[in-house]
Amino acid sequence: MNVVTRFAPSPTGSLHIGGARTALFNMLFARHHNGKFLLRIEDTDKKRSTDKAINIILRDLEWLDLRWDKEPVYQSNNYHRHREIVDKLIKEDKAYKCYATKDELDDLRQKQINEGIPYRYDGRWRNKEQSSAPINIKPVIRLKSPLEGQTIIKDMVQGEVKVDNKELDDMILLRSDGTPTFMLAVVVDDHDMGITHIIRGDDHLTNAFRQKVIFDALNWPHPKFCHVPLIHGPDGKKLSKRHDAVGADIYRKLGYLPEAIRNYLLRLGWSHGNDEIISDKEAIEWFDVKGLGKSSAKFDKTKLTSLNAHYIKQKNNYEILELILPMIEKNSGATVDGVSREMLLEGMNSLKNRSKTLSDIADQSLVYVNKLPLNFSDKAKQILNSENKLLLSKINRHFNDLSEWTAPNIENWIKTYCDKNNSKLGNIAQPIRAAITGSTQSPPIFEVMAIFGKKEVTLRINQAINS
């Protein structure tokens, strides 16, 4: 079978982390089977869909490297096709015009509420003579849903699920303004796009029954359904806007790597033995429906962050540099010149080891970006008191004794100096740090000194003494 999957976001906001997981699962399933992964933008709800949201979703899918095949399908472009299908259903007497007014339906709803039964349209126009139709009312088109029996779905995750057909009322296919409903549009588009498998959140399971009824009415085979339990927040409730950081864009801004997010989302509801770190290649090789769990997974930001730290360490230093440059420039307003870039590359291993996100690296990188004169932090100013300034001037004079300016040599030299002067390493390292970085926190100070070079260190210490 030629597998074709799809991701079908409604562009009403940013890409939700749960949506990103749905896209990932569909992409991996398609890649695993050498099939196609398509993207459909479900923009028929013109009031709620925005171009801005479309652009954000496309941008974040690309950022996450969840690449789709072919051009995206915009559901609103298929308007005529949707109407054509409804006309066909009317001709085949499988759908009908319903002229019930809002007031009438409100009464019906109230009556059913009073009887303690869920609201269901009662099919009052199903068999009515259309000649009795009022002239001043634009009808909706409803499907003649089966009245008896059951609708059964063999879901690849949930197993066999069924509903009594008497619980499914005659759903609307076309609204009175002629626009197709979500339920109809999804079915027609899935059919026309040749979708073979639908992997999506189990909040769509009830829709699947109705969609199957439409597929059946059209004598179209329906795609295989695969409803995945939703992601929950730490409080055990469905992950939603109420929770912190549910949009993929937030993680991009916070400096998470796409590969870390993919790996994390993959493990959120899918497993392959005890494997935690899974490469993209392995993910494609291993992804199967068997690995999908039946219970909802909890979103754990700490776990995501530690995976991110892992992927940061793995990533090539040049690539990290390219990723952090815009962040540094945006945050500090500084331009990163060639000298700073060289220094950043030299110090990158330590920066990576100390960081969990790209933003952490960008923050710590300032030590190699800030030029003289430095802005000393309050804590650094405190450390640079007259006693420490005196100490620094003594040490500064002796740096010339050091033949090779490397981090281990500098460290040894300072340790020996401490021993001779009965001092502790921190008592010397901290004033040096404050003097040459303007701060009390930095990557390992001897490494920073080595990367700056003797001349620059001497210059910085002199400036700090005279500040």
Give contact residues for ligand GLU (rule: CB under 6 A): 8-10, 42, 186, 200, 204
Paired sense of beta strands 73-74 and 95-98, if any: unpaired
Q: Where are the beta strands (DSSP E) in 21-149?
A: 36-41, 73-74, 95-98, 140-143
Whose Cβ is closer to ligand GLU: residue 39's or residue 448's?
39
Whose Cβ is closer to ligand GLU: residue 184's or residue 392's?
184
Q: Say which DSSP state 241 is in.
A: T
Alpha-helical (H) ranges within 315-424 are: 317-332, 338-353, 358-369, 378-383, 386-398, 407-420
Q: What are residue 304's phi and psi, to 5 degrees?
A: -60, -45
68 and 39 Cβ atoms separated by less than 8 Å:
yes
Does the active-site annotation cover 241? Answer: yes
Q: Supply the minimum distance, in Å, between the C-beta of residue 307 and ligand GLU.
A: 26
Q: Provide the sign of the torsion angle of the four alpha carbons 37, 42, 48, 49, taken in this order.
A: positive
Token pair of 384, please?
A: 């640079």
Q: Supply the minimum distance, in Å, between the C-beta of residue 201 and ligand GLU.
A: 7
Q: Supply the minimum distance, in Å, between the C-beta of residue 48 and ligand GLU.
A: 11
Q: Supply the minimum distance, in Å, between the C-beta of residue 23 and ligand GLU.
A: 10
How far, in Å, CA of 204 to CA of 186, rounded? 12
Q: Supply the minimum distance, in Å, between the C-beta of residue 210 and ligand GLU.
A: 11
Which candidate in 91, 102, 241, 424 is catalytic? 241
How far, in Å, CA of 281 to CA of 307, rounded? 17
Whose Cβ is closer to ligand GLU: residue 22's or residue 308's?
22
Residue appearing with tokens 């609708």: 151
305 and 360 Cβ atoms separated by less than 8 Å:
no
Whose Cβ is closer to ligand GLU: residue 200's or residue 389's?
200
Helix (H) or strand (E) holding 115: none
445 and 431 Cβ atoms separated by less than 8 Å:
no
Q: Supply the minimum distance, in Å, between the C-beta of residue 10 and ligand GLU.
A: 4
Q: Supply the minimum distance, in Å, between the C-beta of residue 426 and ligand GLU.
A: 56
Paired sense of beta strands 4-7 and 36-41, if any: parallel
Whose Cβ is closer to ligand GLU: residue 228's or residue 266's?
228
Whose Cβ is closer to ligand GLU: residue 193's or residue 445's?
193
Q: Supply the minimum distance, in Å, between the C-beta of residue 56 and ligand GLU.
A: 14
**CA angle, residues 126, 128, 133, in degrees to nearest 5:** 110
How far from 340 is each of 96, 115, 312, 318, 370, CA to CA, in Å?
72, 75, 20, 13, 9
How far, in Å, CA of 332 to CA of 387, rounded? 32
DSSP-assigned beta bridge partners for residue 226: 199
Q: Supply the minimum distance, in Å, between the C-beta of residue 186 and ligand GLU.
A: 5
Paired sense of beta strands 36-41 and 172-174, if any: unpaired
Whose Cβ is closer to ligand GLU: residue 6's or residue 460's?
6
At position 370, the amino acid (one-letter code) is N
The separation between CA 366 and the C-alpha centre of its own chain, rounded to angstroms, equals 28
Whose Cβ is closer to ligand GLU: residue 11's or residue 255's?
11
Q: How many helices and strands in the chain, by DSSP H and E? A: 19, 10
Q: Say which DSSP state 201 is in.
A: E
Whose Cβ is closer to ligand GLU: residue 53's or residue 358's?
53
Half-sphere exposure of 238 (CA within 13 A, CB side): 10
Catalytic sites, residue numbers: 241
